[in-house]
Amino acid sequence: MPASEFTKPNLTGSVIDGRYRLIRILGSGSFGIVYRAIDLRAPIEARDRAIKFVSKAGRKDSSIATLRNEMTLHKRVSHLPNVITLHDAYEVADYFVFVMDYCSGGDLGNYLAECGQFTDTQEVKKVILTLLDTVAALHEEGIYHRDLKPHNILISRDRTQVFLADFGLASDISEYEFACGTMAYMPPECVLFDPRRKPNARKADMWALGLILLNMVSGGIPWRRASRISDTFSEFVDDPNYLLQCIPLSTGANRIIRRMLRANPLIRANIADVRAMIFELDSFWRSYDEPAPSEWEALATMRSTIASEMDFDNSLSWAPNTQARQMATMNHSAGSAATSATRFSSGRSTPKSTLVASPTGSVMMVKDMRERKDMGERVRSLVSRVTKKLAMAS
């Protein structure tokens, strides 16, 4: 029976393309259905398949193009060890057909919903390190997933293996042309998408990995969208110890997760650094003899990290010291020429940039006097409030 005849509500028991016997329905949606199947031509020990049929009916041309892109990009990375293998993918008159390996444990999202958070540090390490390595390998191939979330991570029944799946929003372009993804796992720069400032897909993937890790060790995530509209997200950004007050995380785990979830993408951690920190971590959870930070400690930490943690304004350009110095040098050189040209044309010079150091070694480049004044007033006000609280707490 050809795949193009997939119009019946249930094809269980049918043989597709003379090769794949459909065993049972694994899931379905408004545009498609997924079956568990066996490959009649494969060895008995390696014949389990999951076959996804996606209908073309009612889809716009852009949506059809997205499905073709999914087929192309998934094929490109299917050889990677922890990307779910795509054995075949093709389209017929009315449907797209994806033939993949079957994963007996389902997806990580369903596991967390049914069983709750992980409780073993070594198990969490194995999963998250595998995901970090797989995403790094994707990036090396020039592919960016852009929709990392627990439901797009497949696991074996014993949870010893994990695989990335669903490349429907993947791209081989490192910058976003438009906002996309699952809202709860999208970083702030994608939630509040500005077409003039194209978010970096590497940084967006890191943000999603941070939330996946947080979900694994706590059983959930504290906000539905990374926006100041959300009180919990605002508290998380403003208070470095917010997670420690909500869940029994270890201070090391809190530090790692916060570095993965920096609101400013330019100071968000990279995969290599996160991998090293997780590898060295003793536990993701606080031990009984490790008390939660006191109010005084929390406020002190907040004061020491204000400049790097606060999301002052998307109009400010942030960069690590080296990059900022390079930018400053370039701006100085370009500024000299530009100043001369401007004087001839308008009689006014171009305002100089100012570099403002943060406690963590990052630097903000402030472009004009008004930005400098506004930012300074905000920082002084915040520092003053925190200092008063510190005095009261002590």
Q: Which secondary structure element, helix H or strand E, spans residue 46, and what is its range?
A: none
Give the Cα separation of 206 and 338 in Å (integer).
38
Taking the C-alpha atoms of residue 275 and residue 366, their distance in angstroms, rounded to an integer, is: 32
E strands, the chain, are 15-16, 20-28, 32-39, 48-55, 86-91, 95-101, 153-155, 162-164, 317-320, 354-357, 362-366
Token representation of residue 200: 């970096």
- The reply, when asked if residue 52 is annotated as ligand binding, is yes
Helix runs in 261-320, H state only: 271-280, 295-309
Helix (H) or strand (E) holding 77: helix 61-77
CA 88 to chain centre: 28
Output the CA torsion sign for 340, 341, 347, 348: negative
State the amino acid at position 139 in one-letter form: H
Copy the structure tokens of residue 130: 């595998």
* Token couple for 164: 């990335």
Question: Which residues are documented as binding site?
Answer: 52
Residues annotated within the binding site for ATP are 52
